[in-house]
Amino acid sequence: MTAPSTNHDARATTDTSPPRPLTQVLRGCLGRFATGVVVVTFDGLDHGTTKRHGLTVNSFTSVSLDPPLVLVAIQRSVRAHALLAGRPFTVNVLGAEQRDLAMHFAGKPNAEPEWVEGAHAPRLSGPASWFECTPWAEHDGGDHTLFLGRVEDFDYRRGDCLGFVDGGFITIPEPAGGRE
């Protein structure tokens, strides 16, 4: 393992552009890590009325198998952040063909979602996999909150998944030979 670089203008050796702000460089560095794309769905109170909500995130990870826990990191500045606190939620891992849903729940509506009623939280129809969760814990994560959910129900289907890297969507092919 190498020591962290002290060259914070983070230009490639052949790049002659002027230095960029550190947050922009950090975002670019983090963007090199390919992730899956999920939509977190839940029912939350909005102006006194319970409404269905969803938001696209790529900060999702498994935490524990016993008990079964997953984590999503939600930026504090998004409207849905305050609505999610203390509520059951579903993590919907999107299939490669569900790019329109990713954009819809990222604030660029262009697809009408189909909903499935879960025992604890609503989910989207047809994701590659889903995890229905009850609240387990919330932790401060700087400009995000880390929401841990206890997985109460889950399932998956075959097919390619939607990924995200370098600011764009990619297809993550289903491995040959299946799962498990």
**CATH number of the domain encompassing residue 40:** 2.30.110.10
* pLDDT, the chain, mean: 87
What is the token pair recorded at 90?
């579903």
Mean pLDDT calculated for residue range 78-90: 91
Residue located via tokens 């050796």 = 13
At 179 the pLDDT is 60
Could you tell me if residue 71 is inside a domain?
yes
Range of the domain at 119: 35-172
Could you tell me if residue 30 is inside a domain?
no
pLDDT at 3 over 50: no
The one-character DSSP state at 21 is: -
**Closest-CA residue to 91 (of 140, 50, 139, 42):** 42
SS3 label, residue 125: coil
Could you tell me if residue 150 is inside a domain?
yes
Could you tell me if residue 158 is inside a domain?
yes
Residue located via tokens 């230009």 = 11
At 169 the pLDDT is 93
CA pair distance 161, 57, nearest whole angstrom: 14
Radius of gyration over every alpha carbon of the chain, rounded to an integer in angstroms = 18
By the 8 A CB rule, do 72 and 147 touch?
A: yes
Note the pTM of the prediction, 2 decimals.
0.83
- Confidence band for 11, pLDDT divided at 50, 70 and 90: very low
Residue with the larger pLDDT of the pair 94 and 27: 94
At 180 the pLDDT is 58
**Residues 6+ away with beta carbon under 8 Å from 67:** 136, 150
The total number of structural domains in the chain stands at 1
Could you tell me if residue 40 is inside a domain?
yes
